[in-house]
């Protein structure tokens, strides 16, 4: 507790006046000898103790009245709740218990009330030594103009944009942040953290430029992704702990308090944040500032799926838009639009019941190669940010593949790669319609060099006996840069060399070691088949639909048994097995590239697969799957870095990065292996990023946020209070409420009216007890 007019506390010395009067009255008597006094002795002994208690009660009341009057004139301000309870409420209750005990007619009541009063007195004594049952959380011990260290966490996630531009939670949050910062006393410092990304440049680090920080907060724009509230609170706590005004620290969280950000798994993270805040000494005041109004209805485009991993010119693709209605209003004729490169190409209608999801399909054929931007969108509702989902589709003119033939021959279908060339270039006979996409070039092992690899996305080793050391190093570099290799075994393979030079005890290109040959000399009647199962690998998931053929149609008579002791290593996975349980296809990730090992041949020497219809889509799927990973991804999540490969001739020159906010940045093209690389890490804002590099066509990237915040359900009042208890925070929902709370924290809450009420009660109590005791003595 503190006092605004502490000098008037000297008036508390007036409490000595009733005590002095009492002592003087006790000394002003004379002894009168009276012979019948012995007859009154029993009455005196009976009433002496009661009269003493009555006098003590009156004395205490008469002493408290001038004391409290002095406190009242000094304008008392409550700063600690336990002070108010321990030294005002409890003493008054003790006095009442003592008074009631003296008036009680029953001995049981007198003993009971006396025991309560004794406990109260013991509690007051213990409170003087720091022991209390009341939370010792300070209301404030500072003057109004005390310098403050403040961290403001402002929720700028896309759910805050629900509503109109000047009437949504983000607009209210910016106003609240401006008012909170502007209220700080001169010389205070403030740091601002944004929960969904972005930076308030003037206040990312602690600053005393309060007007600049407040102005930048009001200029904040939307367009960011989902909230990372727990991580942001950790950052704000760390910033707060490092600020210099340790006597007064405050953490303000301005948000709509959407349930997805604060409940469930995030609740456990917030509990850890609370522990971090408690470790800051002195413990900062925490305020949860709720802004905005509930929005019930929202329709979101959750994602868009493309039917092909690699899209070629002239190929028709199926686009599937996944929609979700998070509201309680049904939309029987929801219009969904497809835009390609900013041009409206198609519109569909779909029924979207309340609280349900739906899908819509579009068919589209690309006529030009390059980078294409697709948007699937719905009609605008209260939250525009999730009404559109953007996808970048690289369209290839050709997919160049190099085939290294380990057993070249001039006779038809006798060369090791004869069937593979037909499968990859079937002239329109394939179900996958990749006729004009894959372009193959076949070379013998002796011609396998760096020139033959130039521009090739995938290299296939078909029954190659062995490579030179230089060829192995060249292949390692090629794969690690993001390209792919596929290795087919056969009767020419030197297993010992492969294990030593290509596997290298798990450090080389091969995912597994080669063991013995199985089935050598066996008949086709004893042959095995590929195990039919539910394929999870993207390369084979096409065959989960029986209409696309069955891999079990082909027989495998002979194969290498692969040592699967490395199959559990990071980046290694078994894609397909034979019905004997032996691994047939094993994949390994190396750097940004991949290697796929097949335990049998790609011709008809060891297997009948090449003469089966399923062989064509199988080979095409394997090659396109490997090629799809040769380039960095074009569709990313918020926060993931953008990486683009450009011609090596551009190394050392400048490339431009265009952001969704319309900003243009320049970065240097760096060398990585045989390629030039452009990298951009600042992807906090969702949207389309474009890289323009020398000697290269523009490359687009779509950065999208998760759609978890599209469910606009907010924390209930009880849930918000529970969150506040976890963080040791106070909850306000308006500027006026925050201003009142801040005023109480800065110079406490005046309790002069409460003290005045106690003085009046004591005055009336003194009159009451005086009359009561007099009547009893009469």
CATH tag, 399-628: 3.40.50.880
Portion of the chain with pLDDT greater than 70, in percent: 83
Instruction: Give burial (CB, 10 Å; 0-12/13-18/19+) of 232.
Output: buried
Cis amide leading into 282 (omega within 30): yes
- Distance between CA atoms of 582 and 574, rounded to whole angstroms? 10
Are the C-beta atoms of residues 216 and 202 closer than 8 Å to each other? yes
pLDDT digits (tens, 9 = 90+) for 478-525: 998 888 999 999 999 999 999 999 998 888 999 999 999 998 777 888
Torsion of CA 369, 373, 376, 380, to 10 degrees: -150
Which residues are 678's β-sheet partners?
644
CATH pick for 299-389 out of 2.40.50.100, 1.10.10.410, 2.60.40.10, 2.40.340.10: 2.60.40.10
Q: Which helix H or strand E contains 621, and what residues bound it?
A: helix 615-628
Are the C-beta atoms of residues 9 and 3 closer than 8 Å to each other? yes
CATH fold match for the domains 149-294+713-746 and 399-628 = yes
- Distance between CA atoms of 695 and 494, rounded to whole angstroms? 43
Q: What is the DSSP secondary structure assignment for residue 30, as one 8-state letter?
A: -
Q: Which of 658, 684, 615, 603 is nearest to 228 (CA)?
A: 684
pLDDT of 319 reads 95
pLDDT of 429 reads 43
Q: How many Cβ atoms are within 10 Å of 398's Cβ, its own excluded?
A: 14
Inter-helix orientation angle 229-241/265-278, to 10°: 0
By three-state DSSP, how is residue 64 classified?
A: helix
By three-state DSSP, how is residue 347 classified?
A: strand
Q: Which helix H or strand E contains 737, and what residues bound it?
A: helix 735-747
- Distance between CA atoms of 105 and 422, rounded to whole angstroms? 113
Please state the domain extents for the chain: 2-139+752-775, 149-294+713-746, 299-389, 399-628, 635-704
Are the C-beta atoms of residues 659 and 681 closer than 8 Å to each other? no
pLDDT digits (tens, 9 = 90+) for 147-166: 889 999 999 999 999 887 67
pLDDT of 646 reads 87
- 149-294+713-746 adopts what CATH topology? Rossmann fold (3.40.50)
pLDDT of 637 reads 93
- Distance between CA atoms of 481 and 469, rounded to whole angstroms? 19
- Distance between CA atoms of 128 and 137, rounded to whole angstroms? 17
Are the C-beta atoms of residues 585 and 511 closer than 8 Å to each other? no
pLDDT of 431 reads 45
pLDDT of 45 reads 63
- Bridge-based pairing of strands 699-704 and 149-154 is unpaired
Q: How many Cβ atoms are within 10 Å of 775's Cβ, its own excluded?
A: 8
pLDDT of 113 reads 65
Residue given tokens 């040791």 in the structure block:
728
pLDDT of 138 reads 46
**How many residues can be counted in the chain?**
778
pLDDT digits (tens, 9 = 90+) for 389-438: 999 999 988 889 999 999 998 888 889 999 999 998 875 444 444 455 88
DSSP for 235-272, written as a single string: HHHHHHHT-S-TTSEEEEEEE--BHHHHSTHHHHHHHH
Q: How many Cβ atoms are within 10 Å of 386's Cβ, its own excluded?
A: 25
Are the C-beta atoms of residues 706 and 196 closer than 8 Å to each other? no
Are the C-beta atoms of residues 701 and 634 closer than 8 Å to each other? yes
**Ranges in the chain, pLDDT < 50:** 136-143, 428-434
pLDDT of 430 reads 43
- 635-704 adopts what CATH topology? Immunoglobulin-like (2.60.40)
Residue 644 main-chain phi, psi, to 5 deg:
-130, 135
pLDDT of 197 reads 86
Q: Which of 308, 597, 558 is nearest to 437 (CA)?
A: 308
**Tokens standing for residue 306:** 């493309």
pLDDT of 562 reads 94
- Note the pTM of the prediction, 2 decimals: 0.71
């Amino acid at each position: 507790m503190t006092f605004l007019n502490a000098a008037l506390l000297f008036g508390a010395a007036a409490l000595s006046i009733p005590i002095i009067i009492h002592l003087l009255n006790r000394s002003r008597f004379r002894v009168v000898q009276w012979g019948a006094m012995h007859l009154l002795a029993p009455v005196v002994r009976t009433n002496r103790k009661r009269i003493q208690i009555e006098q003590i009660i009156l004395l205490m009341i008469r002493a408290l009245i001038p004391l409290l009057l002095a406190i009242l004139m000094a304008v008392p301000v409550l700063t600690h709740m336990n002070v108010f309870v321990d030294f005002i409420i409890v003493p008054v209750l003790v006095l009442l218990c003592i008074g009631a005990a003296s008036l009680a007619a029953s001995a049981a009541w007198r003993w009971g009330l006396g025991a309560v009063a004794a406990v109260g007195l013991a509690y007051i004594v213990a409170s003087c030594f720091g022991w209390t049952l009341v939370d010792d959380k300070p209301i404030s011990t500072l003057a109004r103009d005390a310098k403050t260290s403040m961290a403001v966490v402002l929720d700028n996630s896309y759910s805050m944009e629900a509503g109109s531009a000047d009437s949504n939670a983000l607009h209210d949050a910016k106003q609240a942040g401006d008012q909170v910062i502007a209220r700080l006393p001169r010389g205070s410092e403030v740091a601002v953290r944004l929960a969904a990304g972005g930076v308030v440049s003037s206040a990312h680090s602690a600053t005393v430029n309060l007007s600049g920080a407040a102005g930048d907060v009001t200029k904040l724009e939307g367009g960011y992704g989902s909230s990372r509230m727990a991580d942001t609170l950790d950052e704000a706590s760390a910033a707060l702990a490092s600020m210099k005004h340790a006597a007064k620290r405050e953490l303000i969280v301005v948000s709509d308090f959407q349930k997805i950000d604060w409940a469930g798994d995030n609740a456990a993270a917030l509990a850890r944040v609370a522990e971090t805040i408690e470790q800051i000494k002195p413990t900062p005041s925490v305020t949860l500032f709720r802004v905005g109004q509930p929005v019930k209805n929202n329709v979101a485009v959750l994602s868009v799926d493309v039917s092909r991993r690699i899209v070629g010119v002239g190929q028709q693709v199926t686009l599937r838009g996944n929609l979700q209605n998070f509201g309680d209003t049904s939309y029987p004729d929801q219009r969904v639009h497809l835009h390609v490169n900013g041009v409206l190409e198609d519109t569909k209608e779909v029924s979207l019941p309340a609280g349900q999801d739906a899908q819509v399909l579009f068919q589209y054929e690309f006529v030009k190669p390059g980078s294409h931007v697709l948007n699937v969108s719905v009609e605008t509702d209260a939250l525009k940010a999730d009404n559109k989902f953007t996808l970048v589709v690289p369209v290839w003119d050709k997919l160049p593949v190099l085939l290294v033939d380990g057993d070249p021959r001039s006779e038809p279908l006798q060369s090791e790669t004869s069937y593979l060339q037909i499968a990859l270039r079937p002239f329109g006979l394939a179900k996958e319609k990749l006729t004009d996409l894959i372009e193959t070039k076949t070379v013998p092992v002796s011609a396998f060099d760096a020139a033959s690899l130039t521009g090739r996305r995938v290299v296939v080793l078909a029954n190659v006996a062995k490579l030179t050391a230089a060829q192995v190093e060249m292949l390692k570099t090629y794969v690690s840069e993001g390209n792919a290799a596929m290795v087919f075994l056969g009767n020419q393979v030197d297993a010992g060399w492969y294990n030593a030079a290509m596997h290298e005890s798990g450090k080389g290109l091969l995912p597994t070691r080669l063991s013995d040959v199985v089935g050598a000399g066996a008949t086709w009647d004893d042959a095995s088949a590929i195990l039919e199962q539910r394929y999870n690998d993207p390369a084979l998931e096409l065959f989960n639909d029986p209409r696309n053929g069955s891999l079990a149609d082909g027989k495998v008579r002979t194969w290498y048994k692969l040592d699967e002791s490395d199959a559990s290593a990071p980046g290694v996975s078994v894609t397909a097995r034979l019905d004997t349980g032996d691994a047939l296809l094993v994949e390994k990730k190396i750097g940004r590239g991949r290697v796929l090992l097949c335990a049998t041949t790609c011709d008809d020497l060891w297997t009948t697969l090449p003469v089966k219809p399923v062989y064509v889509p199988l080979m095409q799927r394997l090659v396109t799957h490997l090629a799809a990973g040769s380039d960095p991804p074009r569709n990313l999540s918020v926060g993931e870095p953008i990486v683009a490969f450009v011609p090596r001739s551009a190394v050392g020159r400048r490339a431009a990065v265009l952001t969704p906010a319309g900003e243009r940045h320049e970065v240097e093209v760096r060398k990585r292996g045989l390629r030039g690389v452009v990298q951009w890490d600042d992807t906090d804002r969702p949207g389309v990023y474009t890289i323009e590099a020398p000697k290269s066509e523009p490359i687009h990237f779509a950065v999208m946020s998760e759609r978890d915040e599209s469910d606009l359900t907010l924390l209930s009042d009880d849930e918000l209070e529970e969150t506040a208890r976890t963080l040791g925070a106070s909850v306000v929902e308006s500027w006026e409420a925050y201003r009142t709370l801040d005023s109480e924290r800065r110079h406490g809450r005046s309790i002069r009216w409460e003290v005045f009420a106690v003085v009046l009660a004591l005055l009336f109590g003194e009159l009451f007890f005086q009359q009561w005791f007099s009547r009893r003595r009469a």
